[in-house]
Amino acid sequence: MFFKIIAIATEKLNIEGLTKEFKDVHSLNTNDIVKFYRINEPELKTTTINWRIYALVQMGVLTRIGRGKFSLGNSKIFIPEINSKLKTINSKLKKEFPFLDICLWNTSSFNEFMVHQPGRFYILIEVEKDATQSVFFFLKEAKYSVFIDPTKDLIEKYLPDEKETLIVKPLVTEAPTQKIEGLNTTTIEKMLVDVFCDDVILTAQQGSEMRTIFQEALIKYTVNENRMIRYADRRRKKETFMNYLTSVSNLRQQQ
């Protein structure tokens, strides 16, 4: 009896038709799914459609990427590389500042989404605003090449030609981060908002490269749009970010 119910449910779900209909769409919302099912079943109740959506998510056909938003397929979470240098810095900072919120990541994390690979990378050490000075001086005393929230002029003129320079900057409250191997680091949502908002430190990722970064990231990984928009709002760029995201999505659909 159980298998019969599943068979009937699967037939009603019309997974083949759903995936064909939305195969070229980055994200779809509940209304898109409602319209899809009501083409052949005009009187279908909303509660029944909601059940079907729940079943599709449980089966891995759909992935939730925001409130009422979905992408096709299972979640593909972006995991930035955590190398030995990041681990060493994190260990030292945690020992010196055990209760401090820290987000550590390397701008080389953008490389897999870019056409032109920059020759210089930055290790970003984002900490609570009140602690930036303390962390900066601690790392300087530890003989690291480190700068604190540098200006564009400083980056262009005075940053050394080392392959990796440390930059300490304020961590925006409620920034979307993730813990990898015991280290608090960036998420794909944070990276995309950061590259949109920061044309000083992330100058190598601007212009056409930024559009490529967005397009590649949205293709390769599951990106939670609601999380991005909340973070963009924290960075006071919500409206312009949403407009840019829409333009990137529209361009992808035209290609």
Mean pLDDT, the chain, as a whole number? Answer: 87
Structural domain count, the chain: 2
Q: Are 40 and 134 contained in the same domain? A: no
Is 189 within 8 Å of 105 (Cβ atoms)? no
**CA 203 – CA 182 distance, rounded (Å):** 29
H/E stretch holding 252 reads helix 238-254
Task: State the pLDDT confidence band at 131, using cuts at 50, 70 and 90.
Answer: very high
Residue 235 sits in which domain range?
84-254
Handedness of CA 170, 174, 177, 183 (dihedral sign): positive
**CA 192 – CA 205 distance, rounded (Å):** 10
**Which CATH number goes with the domain that contains 42?**
1.10.10
Q: Are 92 and 46 contained in the same domain? A: no
**CA 239 – CA 189 distance, rounded (Å):** 16
Residue 245 Ramachandran class (φ > 0 left, ψ -120 to 50 alpha, else beta): alpha
pLDDT of residue 252: 54
Q: Are 65 and 188 contained in the same domain? A: no
Please choose, from the candidates 71, 4, 96, 114, the residue with its C-alpha nearest in 3D space to the C-alpha of residue 223.
71
What does pTM read for this prediction?
0.78
Query: For residue 95, is it within any domain?
Result: yes
Q: Is the pLDDT of residue 218 over 80?
A: yes
**CA 157 – CA 134 distance, rounded (Å):** 25
SS3 118: coil
Contacts with 111 (C-beta within 8 Å, 6 or more apart), sequence order: 117
Q: What is the pLDDT of residues 54-83, one digit of tens each?
A: 888 877 788 888 788 888 877 788 999 899
Q: Are 200 and 98 contained in the same domain? A: yes
The residue out of 34, 50, 72 marking a domain boundary is 72
Q: What is the pLDDT of residues 164-189, one digit of tens each?
A: 789 999 999 999 999 998 899 999 99
Is 20 within 8 Å of 61 (Cβ atoms)? no
Q: Are 14 and 136 contained in the same domain? A: no
Residue ranges with strand state E in the chain: 28-29, 62-66, 69-72, 102-106, 121-127, 146-148, 164-170, 177-180, 183-186
Task: State the pLDDT confidence band at 1, using cuts at 50, 70 and 90.
Answer: very low
Query: For residue 77, is it within any domain?
Result: no
Query: For residue 78, is it within any domain?
Result: no
Question: Residue 114 has what DSSP assignment?
Answer: -
Bridge partner list, 63: 71
Q: Is the pLDDT of residue 92 over 90?
A: yes
